[in-house]
Amino acid sequence: MHELSVAISIVQSITDATAAEDHGQIAAVNVRVGAMSGVIPEALQFAWTPATRDTPLQGSELRVEFIPAAIYCENCSDTVELPGQRLVCPVCQTRSPRLVRGRELDILSVELQPESQHAS
Amino acid sequence: MPPESPTPASDSAVAKPRILEVRTQILKKNDELARDLRDRFRAAGCFVVSLVSSPGTGKTEFLKQTLIRLQERGGLKIAALVGDLRTDNDAARLAESGVDVRQIETGTMCHLEADMVERAIEEASWDCDDLDLLFVENVGNLVCPSGFDLGEDLRLVLVSTTEGEDKPLKYPTIFNTADVAVITKMDLAEVLEYDAEKMQNSIQDVRPGMRAFEVSAKSGQGMDEWIQWLTDQAS
Ligand SMILES: [Zn+2]
């Protein structure tokens, strides 16, 4: 379950990035996970609760945007999205090592609780 | 977009959540540390090879035979780090080769991270300048190690003839992040009716162009070719 390590890394990065000022309560975290990143979105969701416990992110929601893998196919002269993780063009069956998308493992943003709710 | 129903900006009861951009890579810390390690190894002239496999691939025996053959050739100062959940059995077996071996006890961790490699080298008091070749054996696991850069020059993935020719298709990410594959236990190929072409095709489907050696640590088949290739890469 390396997703727990990954979830803890997310919590640390966000805690570091938001520590400087009081932003109020963090409601949600948006991340991007590529098909070839080695991280399973479901497992990451599962790890989120234990990873955020007793941190400023406790109770926040994790939103994962899944990015399917894509290769550049020499034969088709085009970037093609892959149905899975085999680097084989689904159009012409040519193999290509040129991965264009799919390795993403990024934090995008956090959503803060609206001020009115925060104040109440 | 919702239909026209303008909300006064002053209406704080329906205030939208504020978005704070935090654009960063999730594994930034590990990646930066791995980059520093790689720079350090390169400056010291130490070539680093990491090994990943599932349990039971014969990884330790393969590495031991590799170390013995490299020692016999002479001329290279070699060390090895072995990641293991609890026991030091693998480290003890590898030390039989005469190479300096240290264990990284990972406890509950299912993979190695760059800081564990850095710490192990410090604890061993190894001077990278004195080393030509360093092996880092990851925990037996084909899933978790894939995303973690250890500062290695070469990532080697092992798969055995006993695991089935579709194994690479089941664990595409680890094969995709590896630089070279070694198919072990070739001495069992015949009795298993192992399909070499099918295995090579599986590997090429997930990592087009990757070199895949067929070896048997037991019989020695393919070992010379592998050692030659490895020393060429390291030189
Ligand atoms: Zn194509």
* CB of B124 closer than 8 Å to CB of B102: yes
Q: Does A12 touch chain B (CB under 8 A)?
A: yes
What was the pLDDT predicted at B144? 86
Rounded to a whole number of angstroms, the distance from the CA of A23 to the nearest CA of chain B is 9
- Tell me the CATH number at B184: 3.40.50.300
Residue ranges making up the domain that contains B44:
18-234
Number of domains in chain A: 1
* CB of B184 closer than 8 Å to CB of B62: yes
Domain assignment present for residue A117? The answer is: no
State ipTM: 0.86
- Residue pLDDT, tens place only, B128-158: 999 999 999 998 888 888 889 999 999 999 9
**Residue B179 C-alpha to ligand 1 middle, in angstroms?**
24
What mean pLDDT is reported for chain B? 90
**Contact call for B172 and A116, based on CB within 8 A:** no
Lowest-pLDDT range, B37-41, B57-61, B86-90, B183-187? B86-90
pLDDT at B159 over 90: yes
- Tell me the CATH number at A51: 3.30.2320.80
Instruction: State the pTM of this model.
Output: 0.89
Domain assignment present for residue A20? The answer is: no
Of B16, B30, B109, the CB nearest to A114: B16
pLDDT at B68 over 70: yes
Residue ranges making up the domain that contains A57:
2-12+25-112
By C-alpha distance, the chain A residue nearest B209 is A97
**Contact call for B22 and A107, based on CB within 8 A:** yes
**Contact call for B111 and A5, based on CB within 8 A:** yes
- Residue pLDDT, tens place only, A44-80: 999 999 999 999 999 999 999 999 999 999 999 999 9
Which of B173, B200, B210 should be substituted to probe chain A, the one whose Cβ sees the most A Cβ atoms within 10 Å?
A: B173
Give me the residues near ligand 1 (ion), CB cutoff below 5 Å.
A 73, 75-76, 89, 91-92, 94
Q: Is A77 annotated as a binding residue?
A: no
Region B204-213 average pLDDT: 97
Domain assignment present for residue B5? The answer is: no
